[in-house]
């Protein structure tokens, strides 16, 4: 059978540890036999990042900007231990942080739902996609502990040197704490556009929430920017696609999310997204079933798994022991990137292939063949735990049968 041809390359960002092993297996077993893969390869493994003084990370992000679609393997974010383990010149920054900053993107995380694994909230029968605004607020704050007798003010000096002051609190008879934080109209606008675009892509409603009744300037600004951009640029497109943009207070949103059956995108401010993404991921079952895509406001897509490099499994693998590492989120990163490449380049056969990879993966699990993490959650009676490679080989058999 002739292999599927691609027109434009996708950017391939290789990574570290167990996910690097899985990466190669996915290509060998599921993709290369069927697709004449055109990719521009960047090795974001920690050794090569160190060798290139991390230049390779920025190069890969710029390539993503050029071609529009990337797929990324999980990578190590160095800490003190990794400095010695890899004999690093510097404690290089998180590649995801670098790429996100260069693309000015928003991360959308979606759980992959399979029969046999019931969410902890059983009514969540469709996925809830969380979009987290990954800039500013408490993550770039300035804070102080202050002594009794201190008067604390917010001071803004404008470009002409004029000061505006506003009292935070007078600590008359007790010590206390204060905090200053910020966001920018530019960042909030990019976040809003990424969310509106992604909602149109998925043809799903978009929810956004803040605490604008209490935070009448700060949170209200988020609400206003979303509303202005929606009215000016997206209202017609949304009604054309039959979807809605819905704003509410964060506490109301949380209550509605719990009562819902899923199937929408929930845009969250930075802190809300940090907290709620862990809640939603846990409720759906396993981090290894969570896909992630970084979407820039001008429409660059970078697909990846939400989990890390699965270090503990990698050390077992190095000792020659069998592991049972779940490759589903990394498979869906590849299928997501191939499908997006197919959509942009008008390659229906590539899109259809990506769909078949996804359905072969889900059918394999639903037939009872799964990795250990899923077996411990699944209610299927005939389930069988397999090792990392066998799982991919079994998916490969289903895929071959469906092609
Ligand atoms: P992790 O790789 O997500 O793994 C944590 C644990 O979760 C694993 O030990 C394993 O539990 C389970 N797990 C995660 N993914 C799994 C999978 N695909 N299949 C089966 N089990 C899975 O997080 P970590 O061990 O804390 O971090 C390892 C490295 O990843 C760190 O260097 C960190 O910097 C990096 N990281 C990268 C990214 C990214 O590139 N996006 C994100 C997060 C972390 P058991 O051991 O109990 O089986
Ligand atoms: Mg968190």
The response to whether residue 361 sits with its C-beta less than 6 Å from ligand 1 reads: no
CB atoms within 10 A of CB 141: 11
Q: What architecture (CATH level 2) is domain 118-140+183-284? A: 3-Layer(aba) Sandwich (3.40)
Q: What is the model's pLDDT at position 285?
A: 82
Q: Which two tokens stand for residue 157?
A: 């000096």
Where in the chain is CATH 3.40.718.10?
A: 1-117+291-403, 118-140+183-284
Give the C-alpha separation, 363 to 391, whole Å: 12
Instruction: Give the distance (Å) from ligand 1 centre to CA of residue 77.
Output: 11
Q: Give the pLDDT band (50/70/90) at residue 298.
A: confident
- Torsion, Cα 388 390 393 397, to 10 degrees, reads -140
The response to whether residue 372 sits with its C-beta less than 6 Å from ligand 1 reads: no
When pLDDT is averaged across residues 47-55 and rounded to a whole number, the result is 98
Handedness of CA 117, 123, 127, 128 (dihedral sign): negative
Looking at the predicted structure, is the pLDDT value of residue 43 above 90? yes
Q: What is the model's pLDDT at position 131?
A: 96
Atom of ligand 1 nearest to the CA of 310: 2
Contacts of residue 199, defined as CB under 8 A and 6 or more positions apart, other chains included, come to 205, 206, 238, 243, 245, 265
Q: Which two tokens stand for residue 111?
A: 């759980």
Q: Could you give the percent of the chain with pLDDT greater than 90?
A: 91
Top mutation candidate among 13, 309, 372 for ligand 1, by most atoms within 8 Å of CB: 309
Atom of ligand 1 nearest to the CA of 305: 41
Instruction: Give the distance (Å) from ligand 1 centre to CA of residue 73.
Output: 12
Give the C-alpha separation, 383 to 367, whole Å: 8
| pLDDT tens figures, 349-395 | 999 999 999 999 999 999 999 999 999 999 999 999 999 999 999 99
Q: Give the pLDDT band (50/70/90) at residue 216.
A: very high
Predicted structure pTM score: 0.91
Q: What is the model's pLDDT at position 196?
A: 96
When pLDDT is averaged across residues 194-206 and rounded to a whole number, the result is 95
Instruction: Give the distance (Å) from ligand 1 centre to CA of residue 123.
Output: 28
Atom of ligand 1 nearest to the CA of 306: 41
Q: What is the 3-state secondary structure (H, E, C) of the chain?
A: CCCEECCCCEEEEECCHHHHHHHHHHHHHHHCCCEECCEEEEECCHHHHHHCCCHHHHHHHHHHHHHCEEEECCCCCCCHHHHHHCCCCCCCCCHHHHHHHHHCCEEEEEECCCCCCCCCCCCCCCCEEEEECCCCHHHHCEEEEECCCCEEEEEEECCCCCEEEEEEEECCCCCEEEEECCCCHHHHHHHHHHHHHHHHHHCCCEEEEECCCCCCCHHHHHHHHHHHHHHHHHHHHHHHHCCCEEEEEHHHHHHHHHHCCCCEEEEECHHHHHHHHHHHHHHHCCHHHEEEEEECCCCCEEEEECCCCCHHHHHHHHCCCCCCCCCHHHHHHHHHHHHHHHHHHCCHHHHHHHHHHHHHHHHHHHCCEECHHHHCCCCCCCCEECCHHHHHHHHHHHHHHHC
Of 8-22, 95-109, 387-401, the least confident: 95-109
The response to whether residue 288 sits with its C-beta less than 6 Å from ligand 1 reads: yes
Instruction: Give the distance (Å) from ligand 1 centre to CA of residue 223.
Output: 35
| CB 327, CB 19: distance < 8 Å | no
Assigned fold of 1-117+291-403 = Isopropylmalate Dehydrogenase (3.40.718)
Handedness of CA 352, 355, 357, 363 (dihedral sign): negative
Rg (CA), the chain: 23
Give the C-alpha separation, 137 to 22, whole Å: 36
| CB 162, CB 300: distance < 8 Å | no
The response to whether residue 312 sits with its C-beta less than 6 Å from ligand 1 reads: yes
Q: What is the model's pLDDT at position 278?
A: 85
> Phi/psi of residue 39, each to 5°?
-140, 150
| pLDDT tens figures, 148-182 | 999 999 999 999 999 999 999 999 999 999 999 99
| pLDDT tens figures, 106-125 | 999 999 999 999 889 999 99
Pair type for strands 369-370 and 384-385: parallel
Looking at the predicted structure, is the pLDDT value of residue 105 above 90? no
When pLDDT is averaged across residues 41-62 and rounded to a whole number, the result is 98
Query: Which residue minimizes the CA distance to atom 4 of ligand 1?
Result: 310
Q: Give the pLDDT band (50/70/90) at residue 287.
A: confident
When pLDDT is averaged across residues 45-61 and rounded to a whole number, the result is 98
Instruction: Give the distance (Å) from ligand 2 centre to CA of residue 355.
Output: 30
């Amino acid at each position: 059978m002739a292999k599927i041809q691609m027109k434009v390359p996708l950017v391939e960002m290789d990574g570290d540890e167990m996910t690097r092993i899985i990466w190669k297996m996915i290509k060998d077993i599921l993709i290369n036999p069927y697709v004449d893969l055109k990719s521009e390869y960047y090795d974001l493994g920690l050794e090569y990042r160190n060798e290139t003084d991390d230049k390779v990370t920025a190069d890969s992000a710029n390539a993503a900007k050029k071609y529009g679609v990337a797929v990324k393997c999980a990578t190590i974010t160095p800490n003190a231990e990794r400095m010695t383990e890899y004999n690093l010149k510097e404690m290089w920054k998180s590649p995801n942080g670098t790429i996100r900053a260069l693309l000015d993107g928003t991360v959308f995380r979606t759980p992959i739902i399979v029969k046999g694994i019931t969410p902890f909230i059983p009514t969540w029968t469709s996925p809830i996609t969380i979009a987290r605004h990954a800039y500013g607020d408490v993550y770039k704050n300035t804070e102080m502990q202050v002594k009794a007798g201190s008067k604390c003010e917010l001071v803004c000096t404008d470009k002409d040197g004029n000061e505006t002051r506003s009292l935070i609190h007078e600590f008359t008879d007790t010590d206390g704490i204060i905090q200053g934080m910020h966001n920018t109209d530019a960042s909030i606008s990019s976040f809003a556009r990424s969310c509106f675009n992604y909602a149109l892509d998925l043809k799903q409603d978009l929810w956004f929430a803040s605490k604008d009744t209490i935070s009448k300037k700060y949170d209200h600004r988020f609400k206003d920017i979303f509303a202005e951009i929606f009215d000016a640029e997206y209202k017609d497109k949304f009604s054309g696609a039959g979807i809605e943009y819905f704003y509410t207070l964060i506490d109301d949103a949380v209550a509605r999310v719990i009562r819902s059956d899923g199937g929408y995108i929930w845009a969250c401010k930075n802190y809300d997204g940090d907290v709620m993404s862990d809640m939603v991921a846990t409720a759906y079952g396993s981090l290894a079933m969570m896909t992630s895509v970084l979407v820039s406001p001008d429409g660059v897509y970078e697909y990846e798994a939400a989990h890390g490099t699965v270090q503990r499994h990698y050390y077992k693998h190095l000792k020659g022991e069998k592991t049972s590492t779940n490759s589903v989120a990394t498979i869906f990163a590849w299928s997501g990137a191939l499908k997006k490449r197919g959509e942009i380049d008008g390659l229906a056969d590539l899109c259809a292939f990506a769909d078949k990879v996804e359905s072969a993966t889900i059918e394999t699990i639903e037939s009872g063949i799964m990795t250990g993490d899923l077996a411990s959650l699944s209610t299927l009676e005939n389930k069988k735990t397999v090792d990392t490679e066998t799982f991919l080989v079994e998916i490969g058999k289903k895929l071959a049968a469906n092609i």
